[in-house]
Chains A and B, each alone.
Chain A
Amino acid sequence: NAGVTQTPKFQVLKTGQSMTLQCAQDMNHNSMYWYRQDPGMGLRLIYYSASEGTTDKGEVPNGYNVSRLNKREFSLRLESAAPSQTSVYFCASTFSFETQYFGPGTRLLVL
């Protein structure tokens, strides 16, 4: 039982490049979330998926897209990366939102 896994662990991009962050969970959770964490800002919700087949915007969705591929997988795509998207990205999943399980994070640097 791996919990929530994220790939890659670390990525360097140039401005304008695209990439997809992958997230998978093996706990049969219905809901999945993408957050970004910046110094002094805490965790901010980018997008979430309450159940398979649905996605909704969070607090900071601009510049991102998501796909809930199936119940296990929820990906985050940056179509044209900007330096402001340099951050640590966390994926989380849950049956009930108050007990979210987080992945280990992806550190992204956009030059």
Chain B
Amino acid sequence: QKEVEQDPGPLSVPEGAIVSLNCTYSNSAFQYFMWYRQYSRKGPELLMYTYSSGNKEDGRFTAQVDKSSKYISLFIRDSQPSDSATYLCAMSAAAGGTSYGKLTFGQGTILTVHP
């Protein structure tokens, strides 16, 4: 079983829709949670970063972490065609853990927003 599971999709939505992307994980030592966006044939770029549980909002993007359920989400409001990309969740353990400083990625979800 992989430490981080992410539905690869693909996910296709109309412009303006609310998109929900999710990851589950098994390692209870994970404390740092990130979402990366990767456009086709490009390197990933950091979209959102959250430490421990809670919500974080940045414009149309909201990241949620539920450590009790080992579940993280990324919501995209008013989705745009320019949001079409692969979204990767990533996690790392707290300081002192064997995974500290190393990211474990989900498989990535391919999102297409059509006009």
Contact = CB atoms under 8 A, between A and B. Distances in A.
Contact of B43 (A40, A45, A90, A98): A90
Interface string A67-111: 000000000000000000000001010000111111111000000
Contact of B92 (A40, A58, A59, A98): A98
A31 interface: yes
Contact of A40 (B8, B90, B101, B103): B8
A43 B41 CA distance: 14
A41 interface: yes
Contacts of B42: 104-105
Contact of A103 (B6, B41, B43, B104): B43
A92 B34 CA distance: 15
Size bracket, chain A contacts: 20 to 34
B101 A43 contact: no
24 contacts: A4-B43, A41-B107, A42-B4, A42-B6, A42-B108, A43-B90, A43-B103, A48-B102, A58-B102, A59-B104, A90-B44, A92-B43, A97-B32, A98-B32, A98-B34, A98-B46, A98-B49, A98-B51, A99-B49, A100-B46, A102-B45, A104-B42, A105-B42, A105-B43
Interface of A: 4, 31, 40-45, 48, 50, 58-59, 90, 92, 97-105
Closest 9 CB pairs of A and B: A102-B43, A42-B105, A43-B105, A42-B107, A97-B101, A98-B32, A102-B44, A98-B49, A104-B43
Interface of B: 4, 6, 8, 32, 34, 41-46, 49, 51, 88, 90, 92, 100-108
